[in-house]
Structure 1
Amino acid sequence: MEPSKPSSRAAYIQQSVRRSGRPQPYLQLEVQVMSVGKPPTTTLDSPTFGAATAMAGASLESPRVPSGPMGAPSGQHVMLRRSSSLSSSSYVAPTVSLPPPEEFAGGDTDRKAGSASEAPRRESLSPSKRSRRESGGAASASSTSTGTATVRAAPDPSPSLDEAEEESVEGLGSPKKRPSLGKRESGAAVAERAAAAASAPPSITIVDMFTPGMLRVNVFRIPSLLPLPSGVVLSFAEARPQLVDHGVINIVMRRSTDAGRTWGLARVCVEGAMVGGAAKFTVGNPTAVYDKTTKLIWLLFCTNHAADAEWMIHAREGRDTRRVWITSSADEGLHWTVPAEITASVKLPGWTWYATGPGAGIQLTSGRLLIPSNHAGDVYEPNCPYLASTQRSRMVAHVIYSDDHGATWHIGGVAAKHTNECTISQLGDRRVLLNARDWSGRFLRAVQLSSDDGASWQKHRYDRELIEPRPQGCQGSMLCVPPPEGRAGPGILFFCNPSSDRREMLTIRRSDDGGMTWSRSYCLEEGPSAYSCLGRTADGALACLYERADRISFAKIPSHVDGPLGVF
């Protein structure tokens, strides 16, 4: 018997909730936000990011993260869901220093009109907000705006000042009566309230990292986050002149030395002149990894000619192909080596499109550096082709690796067909988990395991709880916190992606059984949101660098027994 089709968008969302078995309802939390200006209403619908962003000026100064306790939560939160024989490349690269931020132009400042084929802007409302609007009923919890993020807050049962004044009875010509302020609290009550505040979970903080106008750049996309054991945190992103994925694009970065509490100025890390000379290049897909043995940071990225759109590279009609590069830093991101090309080692001749990450790589317990990647094969593909007119070009995820601390790189295991951007983590039992964006039309995340450090992958499955936006999914990020030393188990796994049929409701989930089930979830951003990168700071907090409307923001979620994702 065919299932009935939902009659409305709200019914579709409700049906999806029933199928995936998500818990109810929302956890009430206090979130502190610092923003460099309120973002306009912007849609991040796939496959494009949405309408053009506003060019409001923004300060380069890092917003200060506020401090203070968060109210204790009530209720339980829950959301809505081969190896290669190719020769290796080896090199010794000189080191170059980054000039001061003010010396960089920060990308092509020529603003071009958006493509006529761009999806029209539409109002971005989370499923919960749309259902409330359609029903016309009032929600039990009021929605308040703090900075630029929407925060759910329980209604205050006490009357407001205006209500108290309205309830007072005034005689003709008598002065207005002041509302009663109640009795003074006793010392015991004050002490009790202070103790409750001290035991409450610490605040979740959200800071805008890259906003339109910084470095005279119109658009920032594709975040990559790398926390280091020393407390240094590096955040990377693409700086674009316009919303499309090609054009003169550079990689920019910001650096924190105190686990993400304060940040230095934004500066260009890699630009086209470093890899293409006088030619204009797209430089993107930043993917960073830290080698704990050598204390080197490796940043992998891809390039193509600035005039080549992605479909042209798939069809082999571009001016150049996609190329893969690496650069490294020995001083925690202050200076970077001249980029070196490794395309011949990690890309097969039959592959057209290629992309590293985006996001972050990992170092396995064996010492191997492992980088998530994806490619398009120039093969006949009648089902779900990228180029529908020719029915060619098959999307597939894979990994690349280095066993000599970044000196040479090789192709690792290739994932299942119709997978795309992927994220990887090593579980506590040393198996490697790959979680990939779906290109098969199922709109569910594809999951695979490896027992040989990513050299091959077991048969894939689709996680019914991890739904994806339509029509072509979205990137996601993953992080595994290993179990304490001496204890067995898979560790604590976190996963983040937009948990909706649109690019909105960015949700972080927690699993205590290696991703087989998801025990907790927290909606970090109800509004327009897309790509993300998870990390864990030196002070033990969960960090997320993510696309939020027209900007990229950094969120820090402390570990706490009463926190949204518990203790980790």
Structure 2
Amino acid sequence: MRKGRGAWDPVVSEVGTERRSPLTLPAPPGMEAPRVPGRTVLFQRERSGLTYRVPALLPVPPAPILLAFAEQRLSPDDAHAHRLVQRTGTLAGGSVRWGAARVLGTAALEEHRSMNPCPVHDARTATVFLFFIAVRGRTPEAAQIAAGRNAARLCCVTSRDAGRSWGGARDLTEEAVGSAEQDWATFAVGPGHGVQLPSGRLLVPAYTYRVDRRECFGKICRTSPHAFAFYSDDHGHTWHRGRLVPNLRSGECQLAVVDSGQAGSVLYCNARSPLGRRVQALSEDEGTSFLPGELVPSLAETARGCQGSILGFLAPPSSKLRDKGWSVDARNTPHTRCLCPGVQKAPEEGSGDTCGGCGPGVMEGCGDGGNRLVGPPPAFLQSPTWLLYSHPSGRRARLHMGIYLSRSPLDPHSWTEPWVIYQGPSGYSDLASIGPTSKGGLTFACLFESGARVSYEEVSFCMFSLREVLENVSAGPLLPSHVGKPVERCLPS
């Protein structure tokens, strides 16, 4: 926040503004320091103790208008969450002008605290749905898990004027959760953005702590976190729950549609996990159910885990990649895997396909002539959809907000090293695509928790282009040399 500005005054953020954090590390002698995007603080901890956490970011076309949400808490503690707040940004000429912050008074239930903003836009009806959970009193999540008694309600408010006004809260718990609530110790949405599929289906990412064994000397014996999605096929008139990711423990999550070429489109879920690494799971039925999840070796969690954001976008043409200097190195074979969703079929005799019918970009030892990929794969391996991922890059603590890129989303080994866009304490984040700006090229935005001493001092906003991502991430995927030991439980926030 610029000196002299109030926390709620309009501010402007620009693409490419060089405003380095005071915590940016100096470059080694003879080397240029990595570029850091300009940063605008949208919400800042106040002297009264009011704290802003758990950001969510949603672009609303056609401008686009940017809607930035966060929890307003009486203190940093989850149990002191209070209401949701919003700032609205207008994009013009490569910069964003932000309006004053306001509390969303209708996004609340009486005697409940509002948490986990999760917006989704229905492009066909020009309606914004802001999902959240309303938690009874000061009941913390850990107490719900220990007792096996849910205190959360599934709620949403809607806006038909791009967030300028909001209707009253709808309690969708009975409709969308129904009888499953008796087997859930607690649940939550997102946090962060939802998605709309080409079919029109609206999807809201969610997770629950399922009670696996209830009676053990009068106490809950075992619960496990599982990611899933709520969905609507009638433009938000009715909502339903999908089935849980069946195997690995998975928590806070986000979703993206991945067009994998010949393998068709699948829904991709990336989730927080207590297993030391992120978990990914695919859905072939638009989020109604998920195939078994798998660990993502190249995306390590922090010691206690942290929420992360996922964003899918159309890959640039291969000609543009060549213009940026990406090449193929013919020394080693690529490390890729056979990850076609669904049951793999045995190859037909004489077909020459030794990978059981995998599509391009997901075959091991097939057809690349012994070439090792450096940077994006050649056209026959390149996925039509790429993914961005934001998450703190520190292993032991929530430090250094990183942007990661995957050019082959079905391959869990395909993620690059991070481009660190903020040096210092960092936490939850949300990514958005805001299209080409006046300067040209695809532009992204990230809303993330940040601070000088702890990650919940402020919520910051920055923008960067795809060109900047390609210039700052590593040329190829990284496999971590060491992944920390799993911790016992995933504890959101």
Q: Same fold (TM over 0.5)?
A: yes
Matched, 1:350 2:183: yes
Cα gap change, 1:265 to 1:461, in 2 (>3 Å): same
Q: CA deviation at 1:64?
A: 3.2
Q: Secondary structure at the match of 2:198?
A: coil
How does 1:60-75 map onto structure 2 within 5 Å? Answer: 60-65=8-13
Alpha-carbon distance change, 443 to 311 in structure 1, aligned in 2, over 3 angstroms? same
Pick one of 201, 207, 228 that aligns with 2:60: 228
- State the alpha-carbon separation in 2 of the partners of residues 327 and 551 from structure 1: 25
Of residues 294, 309, 316 in structure 2, which corresponds to 1:477? 309
Superposition map of 1:322-471 within 5 A:
322-347=152-177, 348=180, 349-380=182-213, 390-415=220-245, 416-429=247-260, 430-439=265-274, 442-470=275-303
Tell me the CA shift for residue 307 of structure 1. 2.2
| CA deviations over 1:398-429 (Å, ceiling 9, x no partner) | 11100001110001131134211111111124
The residue aligned with 1:275 is: 109
1:70-112: per-residue Cα shift (whole Å, max 9, x none)? 7xxxxxxxxxxxxxxxxxxxxxxxxxxxxxxxxxxxxxxxxxx
- Aligned position for 1:529: 426
Q: CA deviation at 1:491?
A: 1.2
Q: Is contact 2:7-2:42 (8 Å) kept?
A: no
Cα 1:147–1:356 change in 2 (3 A) is same
Instruction: Describe the superposition over 1:441-465 as per-residue Cα deviations: whole angstroms up to 9, x where unpaired.
Output: x310011111111122122211111
Residues 1:506 and 2:362 aligned together: no
1:69 Cα deviation after fit: 7.5
- 2:122 — aligned with what? 291
- Partners of 1:302 and 1:460 in 2: how far apart? 25
Deviation track 1:3-58 (CA, whole Å, cap 9, x = no partner) reads: xxxxxxxxxxxxxxxxxxxxxxxxxxxxxxxx346xxxxxxxxxxxxxxxxxx994
Instruction: Give the secondary-structure state (helix, strand or coil) at the position aligned to 1:262.
Output: strand
Q: CA deviation at 1:67?
A: 7.0
Aligned counterpart, 1:170: none
Question: RCO (CA 8 Å, sep 6+): is it higher in 1 or 2?
Answer: 1
Q: What is the aligned partner in structure 1 of residue 460 from structure 2?
A: 553
For 1:564 and 1:36, the matched residues in 2 are separated by 27
**Is contact 1:445–1:468 with CA below 8 Å preserved after alignment?**
yes
User: Aligned letter for 1:285?
Assistant: N
2:184 maps to a residue whose letter is W
Q: Return the offset for 1:258.
A: 1.2
1:247 correspondence with 2:195:
no
Query: Any stretches of 5+ residues in structure 2 without a counterpart?
Result: 318-378, 437-441, 452-456, 476-493
Q: Deviations over 1:229-259 (max 9, x none)?
A: 2220000000000111113510001001116
Aligned match of 2:338 = none
Quote how far apart the aligned CAs of 1:518 are. Answer: 1.8
| Matching residue of 2:42 | 209
Q: In the alignment, is residue 497 of structure 1 matched against residue 394 of structure 2?
A: no
> Do structure 1's residue 264 and structure 2's residue 99 form an aligned pair?
yes
Q: Percent identity?
A: 28
Task: Note closer, same or farther for the CA distance 1:232–1:66 as it changes in structure 2 (3 Å cut).
Answer: closer
- The residue matched to 2:175 in structure 1 has which SS? helix
Question: Which residue is equivalent to 1:542?
Answer: 444
Q: In 1, Cα distance between the equivalents of 2:305 and 2:240? A: 28
1:76-95 equivalence runs, <5 A: none
Please tell me whether the aligned partners of residues 297 and 333 of structure 1 are also in contact (alpha carbons under 8 angstroms): yes
Q: How far apart, in 2, do the equivalents of 1:285 and 1:63 lie?
A: 25
Are residue 311 (structure 1) and residue 146 (structure 2) matched? Answer: no
Query: What residue number does 2:331 align with?
Result: none
Tell me if structure 2 keeps the 8 A contact 1:68–1:202: no
TM-score by length of 2: 0.71
Q: Tell me if structure 2 keeps the 8 A contact 1:560–1:566.
A: no
> Residue 69 of structure 1 contacts residue 202 of structure 1 at CA under 8 Å; is this kept in 2?
no
Please say if residues 373 and 397 of structure 1, whose CA atoms lie closer than 8 Å, have aligned partners that are also in contact: yes
Equivalent-residue separation in structure 2 for 1:443 and 1:520 (angstroms): 17
Q: How much has 1:211 moved relative to structure 2?
A: 0.3
Larger radius of gyration, structure 1 or 2? 1
SS in 2 for 1:258: strand
- 3-state SS of paired residue (2:459): strand
Displacement of 1:153 in angstroms is 4.2
Distance 1:498 1:455, change over 3 A: same
CA distance in 2, matches of 1:505, 1:244: 22
Q: Distance in 2 between matches of 1:506 and 1:283?
A: 26
Aligned: 1:564 with 2:472: yes
Measure, in 2, the Cα distance between the counterparts of 1:520 and 1:448: 21
Partners of 1:546 and 1:295 lie apart in 2 by: 26
Q: Report the CA distance between 1:563 and its aligned residue.
A: 3.8
Q: Are 1:211 and 1:551, in contact at CA under 8 Å, matched by a contact in 2?
A: yes
Structure 1 stretches of 5 or more lacking a match?
Answer: 1-34, 38-55, 71-144, 158-200
Residues of 2 paired with 1:255 and 1:285: CA distance? Answer: 18
Name the CA distance, whole Å, in 2 between partners of 1:380 and 1:417. 17
Q: Match for 1:529: what amino acid?
A: S
* Cα offsets for 1:244-287 (capped at 9, x unmatched): 11135100010011166220011012467x421xx3x2101100
Change (3 A) 1:335 1:314: same
Alignment of 1:14-53 (within 5 A): 35-36=1-2
Taking structure 1 as the reference length, what is the TM-score of the superposition? 0.62
Kindly state the Cα deviation for residue 381 of structure 1 after the two structures are TM-superposed. Answer: 8.4
Q: Which residue of 1 aligns with 2:371?
A: none
Cα distance in 2 for residues equivalent to 1:309 and 1:461: 29
Q: CA, structure 1 residues 449+66, in 2 after alignment: closer, same or farther (shift >3 Å)?
A: closer
Matches within 5 A, 1:102-121: none
Change (3 A) 1:67 1:443: closer
For the residues of structure 2 that align with 1:288 and 1:432, how far apart are their CA atoms?
18
Report the CA distance between 1:326 and its aligned residue. 1.0
Question: Once superposed, what is the RMSD of the aligned Cα atoms?
Answer: 3.2
